[in-house]
Structure 1
């Protein structure tokens, strides 16, 4: 798989997804965007959340709902056709190498880093802030998978240099307490 082409496809899909969700729900004050995958490296999906959704969140778990894309209001919304095409490509590639564990680990790692690189590029290009007028929280995550603490901190600090970064890192410090 040509990961440079894949990154271009993910970037195009991410932009389209964000623009679609913003056009429909911008009045709800979008504050976050995520790309996420799964442990099997078969998917790439977008997620977006709004401050309006957080107003209804349980206070005891407010930070969880604020920062966990699986709980966000607009999970898997936007650019459905583009993301479905990416997922189809990923599954076809995985089917070709079904029994090769060594290959899979490299593939999974390249997919995850490609998603992170796309988010970094969109941030560097001010894509989100040009649309919303604000910095937003960005994250890459994987369902049913936990990054090592330092890896997750690196993802958060690499994608965010705003109030969300500090709050997320402080929240991380409470995990396991």
Structure 2
């Protein structure tokens, strides 16, 4: 299956998408605003070559409408390229977090999160300026450990490429043989690995600054995925979470 993805941009922020996938004699297309499923259509042709020719023609037409082709390759309905998904999530999260930092220059961002829903249909992010502080300083630490309560979520458009990748597994008009359990586990591992890679680059700071940072990967904003707290955070942060869990028991 051949895959092409296009975006229209406003000051380098993607606003609208066009997506094409050709498989056999079929040409599948979707278009709409970023962060949405968009409108879809499937056109059947007399032969695979005719569908391939139509794909090339549609590529040219979409680019003529002011869209920029950002990805082109193949899509295997029997597997999802999780290393590529990890890279797309990493770069999308980088730009999303940078957009929030730029939008709130007077705030020190200490809490960063990536996650999804129980159906593995979304990729969401959030940040907060809350400070972990000393034990007992906060009346309710749930604000720290549940990113659904965090205030800043700008920049979700930058995660749209990764969103398109997982969305293909949920569309009824596209062939996909990836088992849900494989998709679910692979998506969250990709989110955790993306955060680990950013952390190794120093994106979240170093030294005393890094000690104040909390990184989360959660399902529906509350469930710690695959031991992500321990993998992504300093021992101090892990001890604080364990303390909070005991207080809640």
TM-score normalized by structure 1? 0.79
- The structure showing larger relative contact order (alpha-carbon pairs under 8 Å, at least 6 residues apart) is 1
Whether 2:209 is the aligned partner of 1:134: answer yes
User: Larger strand proportion, structure 1 or 2?
Assistant: 2
Contact 2:217–2:224 (CA<8 Å) still a contact in 1? no
The 1:51–1:26 alpha-carbon spacing in structure 2 relative to 1, beyond 3 Å, is farther
1:173 aligned residue: 246
Q: Deviations over 1:75-103 (max 9, x none)?
A: x322x3222332233122222467x7x81
Aligned positions, number:
161
Cα shift at 1:26: 3.6
Runs (4+) of structure 1 moved beyond 6 Å?
A: none
Stretches of structure 1 that go unaligned for 5 or more consecutive residues are none
Q: TM-score, normalised by structure 2?
A: 0.58
Unaligned 5+ segments in structure 2 are 1-79
Which structure: greater helix fraction?
A: 1
Residue 150 of structure 2 is matched in structure 1 by 72
Structure with greater Cα Rg: 2
In the alignment, the residues of structure 2 paired with residue 147 and residue 115 of structure 1 have an alpha-carbon distance, to the nearest angstrom, of 12
| RMSD between aligned residues | 2.6
